[in-house]
Structure 1
Amino acid sequence: MCGINGLVDFSAPPQGGGRIIKKMNDALAHRGPDGEGVFTSVSGCVTLGSRRLSIVDVAEGGMPIKREYKGHEYAIVANAEFFNHKELRGKLEGKYTFATHSDVEVALYAYIEWGDACVEHLHGQFAFLVYDGSKNRVFLARDRVGIKPLYYGLLAHTLIVSSEPKGILAHPDFRREPDREAIADYFLGILALGKSEPLDRSFFEGIRSLPPGSRAYFDHTGLSVERYHDVSLVRRERPEKELAAEMRREVSRAVLEQIPEEVAYGVGLSGGLDSSIVTVVAARSPTRPSAASAIRCEGGDNPDYEYAKLVAQRERIPLLAPVLSSKDLIRDVDRLVAALDRPFDSVRELGLFGMYRTLHDAGCKVALIGEGSDEFNLGYYYALPGFNEAREACATADGLRSLLKTRVPDVVRYFSPQFLNERVVEEAIDRNVRDYYEGCPAGDSLDRMEYYYIKKFLKGRLDMHDRCAMAHAVEARVPFCDDGVIETSLSVPPRFNLKDETEKAVLRSAFRDMLPEEVVNRRKYGLPESKDTKLHRLVIEAFDAAVAEADAAVWDIIDKTYADTMRKLADERVTEAENGTASPHSLTAPPAISKPLEFRIRHLFVLLTFLRWYRLYFVEKLFS
């Protein structure tokens, strides 16, 4: 895996292109500590850069890779793992001469051979950019569900591409402005249906995200983006045992396929069903993981660690789970904001950040994780609205739209009227319902809600893992987002997955004989979110410090009066929890969409991280 950058202008060579790409590479140094490279086309119109985390062909697989074919110049930079590169290499070797064993070189020749259709042949997690001298254009592509990020921006005739927004922000001519549509969408998600953000936007105006399953072309006529793949919910009626057997084959294949051959790897072991399956399959492979890492927060009552310990001991894998103190978590707020290039809303993400740091310190370059299983196997059925809760209200597009619009006043209260009004939030709701509910090819309302969460929720989860992992030079791999695993998961009729008030029944059945019974029978439990009131008190103190340090301009965005109200409410609720007159759980429990919004500590925490994001990026000009 790597960090990639691109600077392209077919009207005239970008002035100082090499110097700018070097600066963009520096902004992504954390993604690739093992090497750096720059390519400039003969015309000078295209400059590509990369920072490398060496995993495949460690010795010779540096980038950018450039080749000449039939008198034309080609080059590629990729943030990718192509798991079928050996198979493709066998098909291409008779026609092309390979100089390395790199999977990225295979991808370049796949593009030369099949052109735009190369994405149909590539199997893996990827975001890449190819310069095609034969057509005088660049080609961009991203994997089917968006495991690997890719951002772009336009400055007049110049296309700027990077793995993270910070790479584009490093361009000296890029003007920083908050993107109000992305911010509205994000806060709506926090207050309504769980985290969400637009598939095609960042938190900075003018920096767009290439959507999952999309490819793009840029030449002298401009930029065009098209979707080449969409999630397909095609249920297949088969005996349950047959479904379970296929699930086991596909998941096991994906895990084994994603185990690296040349570097040490670990597993993220939460103690839940999905990460336990990944851990057990990996542990029984010829190349065992070096370690497992679990999240443990000081003062938390989350039982995940005990289940993780049970699995790790049974499989004889070292379990690394240092206790993250409340002070440690708060100290990491700015680091995670800088890793994400945006605010975030929960200390859970700080736990993930710490987990990947632990794996890095243990010498792991790759981490296998269980992310993606919930989205494709109805894992959120009892956790998120639109399934078990408020299912009737979400049975139609109009019903979902009406339900979401009950949260519009709650969103706009956070912001000054000149920055964000109800119309912007309502437009975000209309766009979400149109694209991610009505846009689902299936007609059943349950399928449509599953499609909605796959589109909206999964992107945020995959982005979070990518940034937390790559901030520590670790590549996160997600076997449950493998193409074959997704197809099998979405073929399961819902009635087979929802049994005895649990979810993912087919997956449980598929691996029952490999897992401790206690893990197989566990209901879905969220990532650890410390209920320690000491942490909540530190959140309030950190918020006070952020307010004291805030630049006056941020109050043109955030409503200062409402921020003060939220701070007062947080103090009251935390005091009640400290005194025992209220349960600490009431500060972290998911609020029901069908009821008036109740205060949660995350409602203040997201204000804290927003203030820090604004300070870091618009006052201190991080990565400029």
Structure 2
Amino acid sequence: MCGITGWISYDNDLTTQRPTLETMTATMACRGPDAAGIWLDTHAAFGHRRLAVIDIDGGTQPMTVDHDGRTLVVTTYSGEVYNYRELRAELTGLGHTFRTHSDTEVVLHAYLEWGEACAERLNGMYAFALWDPRTEELLLIRDRMGIKPLYYHPTPDGVLFGSEPKAILAHPAVRPTVDTEGLAELITFTKTPGHAVYQGMHEVRPGHIVRVGRAGSTVTRYWALEARDHTDGLDTTVAHIRELLDDIVARQLIADVPLCTLLSGGLDSSVITALSAKALAEAGSGPVRSFAVDFTGYTENFTPDALRGTPDGPYAHALAEHVGSDHRDIVLDTADLMDPGHRAAVLAARDLPNGFGDGDTSLYLLFQAVREQSTVALSGESADEVFGGYRWFHDPASVQADTFPWIAAGLSGRFAGGNATREALLDRGLLGKLDLPGYEQRRYREALAEVPYHEGDTGHQRRMREISYLHLTRFVQILLDRKDRASMAVGLEVRVPFCDHRLVDYVFNTPWAMKTFDGREKSLLRAATRDVLPALVADRVKSPYPSTQDPRYNEALRTELRALCADRDAPVRPLLDPEATAQATADGARDDIRPGAELVLGMNAWLRTTGTTLAL
């Protein structure tokens, strides 16, 4: 796993631009703490920061394939291809020779053999650039589910690209500017595929390829969800899901560095941990190492809320004991969550203040602690999107609402429930200009227009096909981006087995009635893995990632908000509603200011530290 960046310019000689490339590459140091590399040619310049995971000695980048003294292709590559060994064997049979044992070199030779169609053969998480000196063309390729990020910024004579916006913003020709559409995208609980918030910048869409040449750029799609008939019966479906999961987990346990799992005690992370423990034991290694996040006094003082009925601790410990994992709790307190240095690090990692507040900070600190003992972690992310685990999948009002179901369920406010919204403290005139409900509705209509249907999709089945598609192409992107930024900020590679496209595609085409055959959420996943789980965990009701319940956290937010309102030079002040902020900061104010306060405080720090211009 790594950080990549680059610059294509058909009107300039980039061999003279090493200092600029070094500056751009340096912004990716957190993603690749182990090594740095620069490759320069007349019209192409690549930068790379490496986190060494596979073939530690041989995987140096940028990497080229040369023949008779000339370069055939070069890449700056981020990610993991889990089927690289099979591809390597196939390519060797076709006459290719390899000088390393890395998956990066396999990708290069796959391109030489199959062209851009090589993307269709890759199983993994990846985002990479390929430069072909023979045609002077660039390919930007991103994995099917968008696990790894990749941004680009067209220029008059080429393009800039990077794993994160900060790499592009480090180029002297780019200034961070956000217009009304970008601000609406930032504030609403949406993540529009291809949208990068910053003016002039785009994100390569999952499953897409951007080709850049002298004549301009083109975008093609090499993978998308398709609707097909599901002919397997229940028993066959459950067995096939288990077969897929066993294969996926085994593949994703391959690493030349210490590896672990992230264990919350929920069904998803427990399945990954249990199957990892099983696979390691069968391979004669182990035990699996697992980590969980917790808060001081959280379990003892836990209060059920709208989304969480139980604390994670007892369930994580039950699973760890059941599979014999080497388990460790990472316990945080309010001081950790409010620490200015930690929050600044999270903002720098995310590039934008549109996160999950204390949930982002705790995730960053969890990953920081995990990185002290492991370089790679497996996570249960996306199982809810694949198998239908969120409560709003099963709430008729949310399902029938004419908007994104998670927005109908109240997630545009706060994860922990409550009546507040992220925009609660913003100026009414600004909100009128942004028209957030209208923006959400336009994005919702765009998403619905993409949904593939099967001829048998009618009534509730048709609507649940739509709900599944919205989650697999929109909602999961919010969570994958969050996890990638928080993990790579500390040089930790997090793998997400439930995002394997074979599993996603198979379950997407399973009828909703079968996905809920026992009247519960994630029926198929539970049935496929119950044999490796203790009953306590297997039967646990869905509980999202934890959020602190310490009342001191809300008071700390209120104190910071008061200080911001008193600072006449605070860059976010012109965007605030004076009456709303006065009410939020008043003595005895209600404790539902969290989403609004976290957004405003984050925006203020973002504007101040990045120099972003709001073109409103």
Aligned ranges 1:429-578 → 2 under 5 Å: 429-442=440-453, 444-498=462-516, 502-548=520-566, 551-556=569-574, 558-561=575-578, 564-565=581-582, 567-568=584-585, 572-574=589-591
Distance change in 2, residues 1:377/1:399 (3 Å): closer
Residues 589-608 of structure 1 correspond to what in structure 2 (within 5 A)? 599=592, 601-608=594-601
Displacement of 1:242 in angstroms is 1.3
Show CA shifts across 1:231-268 (max 9, x none): 23445143212111111111111011001231111111
Give 1:427 shift.
Answer: 5.2
SS at structure 1 position matched to 2:128: strand
Counterpart of 1:369, as a letter, is S
AA at the equivalent of 1:45: H
Question: Kindly tell me: are residues 340 and 412 of structure 1, through their superposed partners in 2, closer, same or farther at Cα, counting changes over 3 Å?
Answer: closer
Report the Cα distance in structure 2 between the residues aligned to 1:59 and 1:66, rounded to whole angstroms.
16
Report if aligned partners of 2:62, 2:75 keep a CA contact under 8 Å in 1: yes
Distance between the aligned counterparts of 1:600 and 1:236, measured in 2?
46
Query: 1:12: how far off?
Result: 2.1
> SS of 2:88's equivalent?
helix
- Say if 1:398 and 1:126 are closer, same or farther in 2 by CA, change over 3 A: closer
TM-score (norm 1): 0.87
Give the aligned partner of residue 376 of structure 2.
366
CA shift at 1:422, angstroms? 4.7
| Displacement of 1:549 | 5.2
Query: What is residue 87 of structure 2 aligned with on the other side?
Result: 88
Shift >4 Å, 4+ stretches: 69-72, 397-404, 409-420, 546-550
Provide the residue aligned with 2:417 in structure 1.
none
**Secondary structure of the residue that 1:294 maps to in structure 2?**
strand
Over 3 Å counting, the alpha-carbon distance change for 1:534 and 1:234 in structure 2 is farther
- Superposed, 1:38-57 pairs within 5 Å as 38-41=38-41, 44-57=42-55
Q: Does 1:333 align with 2:355?
A: no
Q: CA deviation at 1:491?
A: 2.8
Deviations 1:513-570 (A, max 9, x none): 11010111111111101111111111222333444557454334x2242551462379
The CA distance in 1 between the partners of 2:583 and 2:600, in whole Å, is: 9
What amino acid is aligned across from residue 59 of structure 2 in structure 1?
A: G
Question: Which amino acid is 1:567 matched to?
Answer: A
How far apart are residue 180 of structure 1 and its match?
3.1
Is the contact between residue 404 and residue 470 of structure 2 (CA under 8 Å) also seen in structure 1?
no
CA shift at 1:439, angstroms? 1.6
State the match for 2:2 in structure 1: 2
8 A contact 1:56–1:102 mirrored in 2: yes
* Aligned pairs for 1:133-148 within 5 A: 133-148=133-148
Could you tell me how far 1:490 is from its partner in structure 2?
A: 1.6
Q: How far apart, CA to CA, are the structure 2 residues paired with 1:457 and 1:465? A: 13
Which residue of the partner structure matches residue 114 of structure 1? Answer: 114
- Matching residue of 2:252: 258
Deviation at 1:383, TM superposition (A): 3.6
Which range moved further: 261-270 or 13-22? 13-22
Instruction: Determine whether 1:17 maps to 2:10.
Output: no
Q: Secondary structure at the match of 2:482?
A: helix
Which amino acid letter does the alignment assign opposite residue 126 of structure 2?
Answer: F
Give me the CA root mean square deviation. Answer: 2.8
Answer whether contact 1:264 1:289 (CA < 8 A) is retained.
no
Deviation at 1:269, TM superposition (A): 0.4
Q: 2:325 aligns with which of 307, 312, 317?
A: 317
Aligned residue pairs, count: 580
Conservation of the 8 A alpha-carbon contact between 1:563 and 1:607: no
Distance in 1 between residues matched to 2:408 and 2:539, nearest whole Å: 36
Aligned mates of 1:401, 1:352 — CA distance in 2: 23
1:91-102 aligned within 5 A: 91-93=90-92, 94-102=94-102
Worse-matched range after superposition: 300-309 or 453-462: 300-309
TM-score by length of 2: 0.88
**What residue identity is the alignment partner of 2:98?**
F
| Structure 2 CA distance for aligned equivalents of residues 410 and 449 of structure 1 | 23
One-letter amino acid matched to 2:495 = R
SS state of the match for residue 78, structure 1? strand
Q: After superposition, what is the alpha-carbon deviation per residue over 1:365-394, rounded to whole angstroms, capped at 9, x for unaligned?
A: 1000000111011111x246x853333334
Alpha-carbon displacement from aligned partner over 1:151-208 (angstroms, at most 9, x marks no partner): 111233241110011111111221111243233134232xxxxxx2222122322221
Give the deviation of 1:400 after TM superposition.
11
| 1:265–1:289 CA contact under 8 A, matched in 2 | no
Contact 2:561–2:585, Cα closer than 8 Å, also in 1: no
Provide closer, same or farther for how the CA distance between residues 387 and 120 of structure 1 changes in structure 2, counting only shifts above 3 A: farther
DSSP-derived class of the 1:229 partner:
coil
Shift of 1:488: 2.5
My pick for the range that moved more, 9-18 or 519-528, is 9-18
Q: What pairs with 1:282-321 in structure 2 (closer than 5 Å)?
A: 282-285=276-279, 286=283, 287-288=285-286, 291-300=289-298, 301=302, 302-321=310-329
What SS is found at the alignment partner of 1:152? strand
1:319/1:400 CA distance change after superposition, 3 Å: closer
What is the alpha-carbon distance in structure 2 between the residues aligned to residue 178 and residue 367 of structure 1? Answer: 34
Once structures 1 and 2 are overlaid, which stretch shifts more, 369-378 or 326-335? 326-335
In 2: Cα distance, 1:570 partner to 1:499 partner? 51
Provide the C-alpha distance between the structure 1 equivalents of 2:220 and 2:586, rounded to a whole number of angstroms.
46
CA deviation after TM superposition for structure 1 residue 326, in Å: 0.5
**Distance 1:566-1:23 versus aligned 2 partners, 3 A rule:** farther
Q: Is the 8 A contact 2:422 2:596 kept in 1?
A: no
Change (3 A) 1:513 1:569: farther
- Distance in 2 (alpha carbons) for counterparts of 1:473 and 1:163: 14
Q: Match for residue 170 of structure 2?
A: 170
Tell me if 1:78 matches 2:77.
Answer: yes
**d(CA) in 1 for partners of 2:258, 2:76:** 24
Counterpart in 1 of 2:305?
none
Closer/same/farther in 2, CA of residues 412 and 513 from structure 1, 3 Å limit: closer
Residue 419 of structure 1 deviates from its aligned partner by: 5.4
1:30 match: secondary structure: coil
8 Å contact from structure 2 (residues 15, 40) kept in 1: no
Letter in 1 for 2:372: D
Range 106-115 or range 427-436, more displaced: 427-436
Structure 2 residue matching 1:29: 3-state secondary structure:
coil
Matching residue's letter, 1:433: Y
Would you say the 8 A contact 1:182–1:198 is kept in 2?
no
In 1, Cα distance between the equivalents of 2:468 and 2:529? 23
Q: Which residue of 2 aligns with 1:612?
A: 605
Q: Report the 3-state secondary structure (helix = DSSP H, G, I; strand = E; otherwise coil) of the residue aligned with 1:284.
A: helix
Q: Give the superposition deviation at 1:213.
A: 0.9
Structure 2: distance between partners of 1:425 and 1:241: 45
1:141–1:311 CA distance, 2 compared to 1 (3 A): same
SS in 2 for 1:572: coil
What does residue 182 of structure 1 align with?
A: 182
Aligned counterpart, 2:306: none
Task: Give secondary structure in 1 for the equivalent of 2:153.
Answer: strand
CA distance in 2 between counterparts of 1:519 and 1:73 reads: 53
Aligned to 1:66: 64
Q: How far apart are 1:95 and its partner, in Å?
A: 2.4
Residue 400 to residue 31, structure 1, CA distance change in 2 (3 Å): closer
The Cα of 1:611 is off from its aligned counterpart by 1.8
**Does the 8 Å contact 2:377/2:494 carry over to 1?**
yes
For 1:12, what is the secondary structure of its paired residue?
Answer: coil
**Cα displacement (A) at 1:469:** 0.8
Structure 1 distance, partners of 2:172, 2:61, is 24
In the TM superposition, residue 69 of structure 1 has moved relative to its aligned partner by: 4.5
